[in-house]
Structure 1
Amino acid sequence: MHADLRLHETVTVRTFTQLFSSTPRGARLARRLVAHRMDVWGFPYDGDAARRVSLVVAELAANAVRHGRVRGRSFRVRLLLDGGVVRVEVADARTDRLPVLREPDDEGGRGLVLVAALAERWGAEPRPGCAYKVVWAEVKVAVGDPRRGEA
């Protein structure tokens, strides 16, 4: 018995993972490298998808540097492009502090409000037995030809 290969669609999952120093410079570099990776994957720098993913990374990386920093430890950015969704994951070393979404009128703390507005879903997961936590967001991107902006 042979399986009919026409029934199976090809699924391509693209990933990008990089460690960055827990400094403002590391956060800036994370945003820039993610914008470059999105361009390599076919989402141009000035396109909506690359801008939204880059903004989400900028906010989560800034939070990792500001609130998740442990001296001598880096933070990690991971992107997974699967179909029409880019999952952004930022892991930092402060497992005791999970992010909290604040009201838009609060002083400071508006970064997660922006992430919530740009992403379909977001959340944070402590990793039991590990020395890090992951803050993640899922951003919808065009599933057609991203160079032409097709959805």
Structure 2
Amino acid sequence: MNWEEELTGSVRHHLSGLCEEKVQQVVTHLIEVTGVESMEDTSLVTEADLTEILKPLQSRKLIAGWKPKGSEGVSTSPLTQPPQRVPMLVLDDIPGPVQSEWAYDFTIPWENAPPELRRALKSEVPPTPSLRRRLVQIVVEAATKKNSTKISKRQMSVISKK
């Protein structure tokens, strides 16, 4: 068993109420966003690392389960228990926030922007608040069409830097 499968089993064990899709999203977030590269790295994960993907109590449960043995009473480790057999999903099969590549390829549909907004931006004059709101509305509508599931904070951050 590789460490990614151990990580998946650990998340599944400590957050047994999560559906399999959410477990996969948490594991992907831990690897891609937080930078976990081994099971030993889980002891360094903080609640702040998980705020984007989990509720606060879920984060605390997961982190408490990863504390080193002896740091608080007796804890059971999912690594000592046989992992449950659940079919693994290929990342390409997981919809939504897990797939963030689309945000890098996203292009702002300037053709949908009002002419006054385009003129203001071209002449480097700050657009009016109503034009700025319209631009945000255009970008969010286009992003929602591109990705039908919930758009993550990270994805919007990538788009906003364009």
More helix as a share of residues: 2
Q: State the TM-score, normalized to the length of structure 2.
A: 0.24
Q: State the TM-score, normalized to the length of structure 1.
A: 0.26
Considering only CA atoms, is the larger Rg found in Structure 1 or Structure 2? 2
Structure with the bigger RCO (C-alpha within 8 Å, sep 6+) is 1
